[in-house]
Amino acid sequence: MRIACPWCGPRPLSEFTYGGDAAKTRPKAPEAAGLETWMDYVYLRKNPAGRHREYWHHGSGCRCWLIVTRDTVTHEIEHVALAAPQMREGKK
């Protein structure tokens, strides 16, 4: 599998580290969220078959965090974007 980094171009998977599910959202009121809510957010993960959004870190390249939309069955990558594009504006 190759991931097309927006800054470095297509790179081998060995340059990236999986960072988890990009579809999960942090509890809106963290201080008010109960233990069960935090257990769900931190530990419970779905294992979807098909299209899924994931965080990937390009540690052996530009060191950016990316959101990769890929099919978990075929590993075909549909879209790659910077997780925080404002962090790279004006750089490189």
Within a domain: residue 80? yes
Total count of domains within the chain: 1
Within a domain: residue 27? yes
Give dist(CA 53, CA 61) in Å, integer: 21
Instruction: Provide mean pLDDT across the span 22-51.
Output: 88
CATH number of 17's domain? 3.30.2270.10
Domain that holds residue 9: 2-87
Determine contact, residues 16/3, Cβ cutoff 8 Å.
yes
Within a domain: residue 92? no
Instruction: Give residue-wise pLDDT tens across range 7-18.
Output: 999 999 999 999
Q: What is the mean pLDDT of the chain?
A: 89
Instruction: Give residue-wise pLDDT tens across range 39-52.
Output: 988 888 888 899 99
The pLDDT of residue 57 = 97
Within a domain: residue 41? yes
